[in-house]
Amino acid sequence: MNSRRIHAHTTTEENPQADGSINQIEPAHGYIEASDFTAEDLVLGGWMLHPNKEMSSLRLYVNGACAGPVDLELRADVAKVFSWIPHAAQSGFHIRRHLSPSGYPPQGRIDLVGYSGEQPIARLSSLYRTDLDSVVPAPPPTLMNRVAHTQDRRFFKTWGLKCYGDMRSFFCRYAAFDRTDKLLDWGCGCGRLTIHFLMETAGPAVYGCDVDGEAIAWCDAKLASGHFTAIEPFPPTSYADASFQLVAGYSVFTHLTKETQVAWLTEIRRILAPGGIFVATVHGDFAASLAFPGKVTSVLSAGIHDGVHDDSLDGIVPKGYYRGTFQTEEYTRREWSKYFDILEYQVRGIGNHQDAVVMRRPA
């Protein structure tokens, strides 16, 4: 399976977003594979499921207003990949709706909420921009493929905006985001999330670094308002002590051995200001259950499994450096708390697949 890929009406149905409680609903697993949000039309397609609970219905919310029910559709490809999940087949959705004359604001948020009866059990949330295709440049296919395993520029942009929104929500929860001086996107690649931080009208100065020099050169050329640096696979970096108030690390630790993780935890602590916030992702038990169905307990018996070679950066990093790494929440909390205060751990918290770890450098 390739897992890339309104005349709206406000109803009187209970709206879980009205009091902010939608954020308390557990993230689903799934993807928005197709998205086209213009001033006239909304098109969304993809799939979502809760691994342990069957959804009986979906509802779409746009900027907090219920835009009506959404039919669940058959997805045989999802059922094939997740053959051990009995309800995986009924996970698809396709939405095409014409907007009312007033339309929607050019930027906002959409939420697909899955229900069991009247109980909300899972959500697939994302920001939207009606101008996404025109304001976000598309990297060359080779660069997109290295970081996202896709050459579909529409999916690359849509999913970058979604993951940026997930990441930003954690920063806003624990820091005064619009009053922060400097943010580092550590492992920025070709700017999948970075571009959206750069478009913040009242945000911090944005820095990006990566081991992929070609990606950094592209960012330098196309994302002129950012500050980009090519770094070595192992620390230190050239950044001064306590340089940043915020550091984002999306899908970086997911590719590092436990020893290399320690080296970078030490370095991020050095360059993060006291009291600063570091949000990073890991492949937790859920991701491991997809990679090693039925074998998670044995695979993660030591708390971390870093033995899967990933060839995505062959020729860019030393042979054997880049891995597919999986680790338990207990291991992550125990080992990472030696360097940071762990403020929150959310399963499937970013991208509806990777677990989010929110950390603060002690003051």
Q: What is the C-alpha radius of gyration for the chain, rounded to an integer number of angstroms?
A: 20
Query: Within the chain, what is the greatest distance between any pair of CA atoms?
Result: 58
With beta carbons less than 8 A apart as the criterion, state whether 45 and 33 touch. yes
Instruction: Please state, in angstroms and rounded to a whole number, the distance separating the CA atoms of residues 322 and 275.
Output: 30
Return the exposure string of 23-54: e unless at least 16 CB atoms fall within 10 Å of the residue's CB, then b.
Answer: eebbbbbbbbbbbbbeeeebebbbbbbbbeeb
Q: What is the pTM of this model?
A: 0.92
With beta carbons less than 8 A apart as the criterion, state whether 172 and 202 touch. no
| Helix/strand/coil percent split, the chain, to 5 | 25, 35, 40
CATH architecture designation of domain 133-360 = 3-Layer(aba) Sandwich (3.40)
pLDDT tens for each residue of 88-101? 999 999 999 876 66
At 23, the amino acid letter reads N
Q: What is the pLDDT of residue 19?
A: 43
pLDDT tens for each residue of 275-299? 999 999 999 999 999 899 899 999 9
Residues of the chain scoring pLDDT < 50: 1-14, 17-19
Q: What is the pLDDT of residue 102?
A: 67
With beta carbons less than 8 A apart as the criterion, state whether 268 and 360 touch. no
Q: What is the pLDDT of residue 126?
A: 95
pLDDT tens for each residue of 107-161? 999 999 999 999 999 999 999 998 999 999 999 999 999 999 999 999 999 999 9
Phi-psi region of 352 (alpha: psi -120 to 50; beta: other; left: phi over 0): left
With beta carbons less than 8 A apart as the criterion, state whether 168 and 199 touch. no
H helix count then E strand count, the chain: 10, 17
With beta carbons less than 8 A apart as the criterion, state whether 60 and 151 touch. no
Give the list of residues 6+ apart from residue 142 with CB closer than 8 angstroms, or none. Answer: none
Q: Which of 343, 21, 338, 347 is nearest to 175 (CA)?
A: 343
Q: What is the pLDDT of residue 101?
A: 61
Q: What is the pLDDT of residue 21?
A: 82
**Helix ranges, the chain (H):** 76-81, 132-135, 141-148, 153-174, 194-198, 213-222, 258-271, 285-291, 296-299, 329-336
Q: What is the pLDDT of residue 190?
A: 98
Q: What is the pLDDT of residue 2?
A: 37
Strands 244-249 and 182-186 come out as parallel
Instruction: Please state, in angstroms and rounded to a whole number, the distance separating the CA atoms of residues 270 and 281.
Output: 19
CATH code of the domain made up of 21-130: 2.60.40
At 75, the amino acid letter reads R
Domain ranges of the chain: 21-130, 133-360
Angle at 278 between CA 273 and CA 280, to 5 degrees: 155
Q: How far apart are the first and last CA of the chain?
A: 46
